A and B are shown apart, each in its own frame.
Chain A
Amino acid sequence: MTRHHTSFWAVLAGAVLPAAFALAGPLGLPPVPVPANNPMTAEKIALGSTLFNDKRFSSTGEVSCATCHDPGKAFTDSPLKTSEGINKLTGTRNAPTVVNAAYFATQFWDGRSADLEDQSQHPFVNPVEMGLKDHEPILKIVRTDPAYTGMFKSAFGVEPAAITMDHVKKAIATFERTLVAADSPFDRWYFGGDKTAMSEAAVRGFKVFLEDGRCVSCHTIEQDHALFTDQRFHNVGVGINRIQDKVPEIAPRFLEAKAKGMDVDKAVLSDPNSSELGRFAVTDGLDELGAFKTPTLRNVAVTAPFMHDGSLATLRDVVVHYNNGGVTNKGDKVNDFLSGGIRELNLEEQQIADLVAFMEALTSPQHAKPAATAGVQP
């Protein structure tokens, strides 16, 4: 079933919502935060949606935002491990879902963008994503294509020649703020009080989630809503484990190149070793070496594979990785920079299975797989 995200907004067609107006979220989510300088309007949402789907904003004319953030795949490119841009070039990171990104305090796996507006400009000009040399080709299209000039006029009141990337970014971000989804079996059980909404296994799994699994410390839940992220960055032993012996060479070399003006966005998506430095590549902080943003767990069951590099194929693999204390294979060397929150959990097989059942109860109705294919999840 596909309930259209934008249908909610169609009701508001023509209405200009007040600046910084927080919009009520679905069951289990707080109001959507909206920046004061980019209020939600139906015109901007429609424009943003069109921009999001336009393949002309790539060097080959074959890639749009929606290529890697596919509405049919909960706005990811599941089952790809890492995303494919122009000419089948692959980056280093697994496409995070856009769904509920409106709530994130930072964007990208390493938080290198502060908000959706800033984030939206980077993939256009990344050589392994949409491959444009600069943003000029986008501006040329939106200033000349009559379909766009009209939409920009009604969204921003600008004449074609006055359209800038600032407008483009604001429109895309506005569209993305409509992509919120909750109302999962868990939400109906926990926040809605429906005792039958979640399976017994999922209910047991929630107990593991809160207790022995130590999950909730980072994948947080509040009294009246759950984002399932602490908005922080943690080294959980993924990616960094592969390069751990080379860190003494890679980390100083990266800092040196960055000091000389290297583009961090391009470096981390094209160089697998630099990518694994994680948040350190953004902040230079030793505390964040190999650390990546805590992702939300909402709709996680339909966005395999997992982790920032897509290296874990199933939710069970993810639980086993944490159960091993931050190594995928028991007995592997734990990396020196591991977050102090990660340690062996000693979960039993039943607890692992229950935890997976709990995560499968976090899927929103509009992103649930049709019943016929539900059984063939990776």
Chain B
Amino acid sequence: MSNHYDRRSFLKAAGSVAAIGALPVTMVELAFAKPTENFTFAYISDAHIQHIRGTKFVNNWDRGLIRAVAEANLMTPPPDFVMFGGDLAQLGTQPELDHGAGMLAKLNAPLKVVMGEHDYYLDLGEYWSKLFGPQYYSFDHKGVHFVVLNSILTTDEWTFNRWPTPEQRMLEMAGLDNPNGSPFMVGEKQRDWLAKDLAKVTKDTPVVVFSHSPIQKIYKGWNFWTDDAEQVQALLKPFDKVNVIYGHVHQIQYNQIGNISFNSVMATAWPWPYPQSYAQAEQYLPKLTIPMNRADPFFERDATGWQMVNVNTGRVDLAYNLYNNKPRVVGFDPKLGHPVDKDLQSVALEPNRTHY
């Protein structure tokens, strides 16, 4: 494409209008840039493609993924790659995974995929792996070590012994607040692999981990949770700069635990509200930004979106492309040592005591 575009015009194309030129996204880069190590990728997640019957799929979810793919293809300069963050399917069926894979195939940039629980629990990832390859892996790109985890596993007892059919197992895990579900985990086998994988990486190499569930404990009732999060975090602790980017929660979250920065991504399908909106009292959840407006049910894309991720010297800035809402940018602030929402960080957070 054109070489007249700088990162600033990429951000303008991201829908982050005018004001963004003055935001730390570019300032961080100016201050710390090693231009050869800075790059951009796109992150699309949680499409939940849902089969109805025959050739019919839920139109709303189809349109969300189609639109994100078309918009990611307009990124200028093009992204180095596109991550898909899991839950391509709703109930893990071949028609759903095939239909979703067909839409993702229209991406111009190389695609990498994360496993979600909605992709997994029908056939334990068998068909997904035929389409997309290994369920956990690592790769290096422009000085950054990327790790993709399958974080939505759970106990063998729940997975293999509890449900009479694979279909019922899938349905039980597909419910957001279903008490019959089971906490997600990365599991011992993958943690052993991760330890060996990271042993080859120098401690000053930036590490970016992609998982579907948050590798932190947010809210067990909705499985915004990874049961062995502390053990995974311990493996990441020796590194200077670590970023974990996760899907699953269908909302914007960010957090810092020690050296690890956490960022969530939006869904293209539908938004979840924030667990704290039920609390009616002071909460000690990881810091969430101000809640999004309630989605307007008329505009099916409202409160969904996708993101463009700048990697600046090993730190990530996420520019959220949000429909019917102002674009938002959440990026690492080196002075504060944690991610901040560029526009909304200063907005005071009051506990929500409203009961409807």
Footprint of B on A, CB under 8 Å? 214, 217, 247-248, 251-253, 255-256, 259-260, 283-289, 334, 336-341, 343-344
Chain A: which residue is nearest B302 at the CB level? A340
Check B17 against A284 for contact (C-beta < 8 Å): yes
Q: Measured between alpha carbons, how far is A247 from B324 in the docked complex, in Å?
A: 21
Residues B13 and A284 in contact, CB atoms below 8 Å apart: yes
Known contacts A214-B298, A252-B76; A286/B9 CB under 8 A: no
Quick check: A255 and B300 within 8 Å, CB to CB? no
| Shortest distance between the CB of A332 and any CB in chain B (Å) | 15
A252-B13, A252-B74, A284-B13 given; A340·B322 CB < 8 A: no
The listed residue with most B CB atoms (<10 A of its CB), out of A284, A338, A344, is A284
Among residues of B, the one whose C-beta sits closest to the C-beta of A280 is B15
22 contacts between A and B (CB under 8 A): A214-B298, A248-B74, A252-B1, A253-B2, A259-B4, A284-B12, A284-B17, A287-B15, A287-B321, A287-B322, A287-B323, A287-B324, A287-B327, A334-B63, A336-B67, A336-B70, A338-B67, A340-B60, A340-B300, A340-B324, A343-B59, A344-B59
Interface membership of chain B positions 310-335, coded 1 if the CB is closer than 8 angstroms to chain A and 0 otherwise: 00000000000111100100000000
In the complex, whether B149 has a CB less than 8 A from a CB of chain A is: no
Contact mask B216-260 → A, CB, 8 Å, 1/0?
000000000000000000000000000000000000000000000
Smallest Cβ distance from B309 to chain A, in angstroms? 16
Q: What does the 1/0 interface line of B1-33 toward A look like (CB < 8 Å)? A: 110110001001111010000000000000000
Chain A: which residue is nearest B3 at the CB level? A256
A289 to B299, CA, bound (A): 16
For A337, give its contact among B71, B324, B327 (CB under 8 Å).
B71
Q: Are A252 and B324 in contact (CB under 8 A)?
A: no
Which of B2, B70, B298, B301 is in CB contact (< 8 Å) with A256?
B2
Identify the 10 closest CB pairs spanning chains A and B, nearest first.
A340-B301, A336-B70, A340-B300, A285-B15, A340-B299, A217-B298, A284-B12, A286-B15, A252-B76, A286-B71
In the complex, the number of residue pairs spanning A and B with C-beta atoms less than 8 Å apart equals 78
Residues B9 and A259 in contact, CB atoms below 8 Å apart: yes
Q: Is the CB–CB distance between A285 and B17 below 8 Å? A: yes
Q: Mark each residue of chain B from 63 to 88: 1 if its CB lies under 8 Å from any CB of chain A, else 0.
A: 10011011101101000000000000
Q: Please classify the interface of chain B as helix (H, G, I), strand (E, B), loop, or mixed, using the class held by over half of its residues.
A: loop
B72 closest partner in A (C-beta) = A286
- B5 touching A256, Cβ below 8 Å: yes
CB contacts (< 8 Å) of B59 on chain A: these are 343-344
Residues of B within 8 Å of A259, CB to CB, are: 4, 9
Neighbouring B residues of A341 by C-beta, 8 Å:
298-300
Q: Given contacts A259-B9, A286-B74, list 10 more A-B pairs with CB under 8 A.
A: A252-B2, A255-B9, A256-B4, A284-B12, A286-B71, A286-B321, A288-B15, A336-B67, A336-B71, A340-B299
Question: By the criterion CB–CB under 8 Å, are B298 and A255 in contact?
Answer: no
- B5, B67, B73: most-surrounded residue (chain A CB, <10 A): B67
Residues of A within 8 A of B69 (CB): 336
Contact across chains for A286 and B300 when beta carbons are under 8 A apart: no
**Measured between C-beta atoms, what is the minimum distance from A260 to chain B in Å?**
7
CB distance from B159 to the nearest CB of A (A): 36
Q: In whole Å, how far is A249's beta carbon from the nearest beta carbon of chain B?
A: 10
Chain A residues contacting B67 (CB-CB under 8 Å) are 336-338
Indicate if the CB atoms of B76 and A255 lie closer than 8 Å.
Answer: yes
Residue among B59, B298, B302 with the most chain A CB within 10 A? B298
Nearest chain B residue, comparing its CB with the CB of A232: B324
Chain B residues whose C-beta falls within 8 Å of the C-beta of A336 in the assembled complex: 66-67, 69-71
Residues of B within 8 A of A343 (CB): 59-60, 300
Chain A residues lying within 8 Å of B323, measured Cβ to Cβ, are 287, 340
- Tell whether, in the assembled complex, residue B298 and residue A247 are in contact, meaning their CB atoms are under 8 Å apart: no
A253 vs B14: C-alpha distance when bound (angstroms): 15
Q: Is the CB of B63 within 8 A of A338?
A: yes
List the B side residues contacting A289 at CB < 8 Å: 71
Closest chain B CB from A232 CB (angstroms): 8
In the complex, what's the smallest C-beta–C-beta distance from B298 to chain A, in angstroms?
A: 4
CB atoms of A283 and B321 under 8 A apart: no
CA distance A302 to B4 in the complex (A): 47
**Which of B66, B69, B299 has the most chain A CB atoms closer than 10 A to its own CB?**
B299
| Cross-interface CB contact of A255 among B13, B299, B321, cutoff 8 Å | B13
- Which residues of chain A are within 8 angstroms of B4 by Cβ–Cβ distance? 256, 259-260
Measured CB to CB, the nearest residue on chain A to B295 is A340
Query: A80–B323 Cα gap in the complex (Å)?
Result: 34
Chain B residues in 8 Å Cβ range of A252 = 1-2, 5, 13, 74, 76
* Pairwise interchain contact B12-A255, C-beta atoms closer than 8 A: yes
Residues of A within 8 A of B71 (CB): 286, 289, 336-337
Q: Enumerate chain B residues within 8 angstroms of A339, measured Cβ to Cβ.
A: 299, 301
Q: Which chain B residue has the least Cβ–Cβ distance from A214?
A: B298
B212 smallest CB distance to A (angstroms): 24
- Residues on A with C-beta less than 8 A from B73 are 248
Residues of B within 8 A of A260 (CB): 4
Chain A contacts of B321 at CB under 8 A?
286-287
Q: What B residues does A288 contact at CB under 8 A?
A: 15
A180 to B299: give the CA distance in the assembly, Å: 30
| Contacting residues, chain B, for A287 (C-beta < 8 A) | 15, 321-324, 327
Query: Bound complex: CA of A45 vs CA of B343, how far in Å?
Result: 43
Rounded to whole angstroms, the CA-CA distance of A260 and B2 in the bound complex is 13
CA distance A256 to B10 in the complex (A): 11
Interface string of B294-309 (1 = CB under 8 A from A): 0000111110000000
Q: Which residues of A contact B1 (CB under 8 A)?
A: 252
B31 to chain A, nearest CB (A): 24
Say yes or no: A337-B70 contact (C-beta < 8 A), given A255-B76, A286-B15. Answer: yes
B residues less than 8 Å from A338 (CB atoms): 63, 67
Instruction: Determine whether the beta carbon of B15 is less than 8 Å from that of A284.
Output: yes
Closest to B73 in A: A248
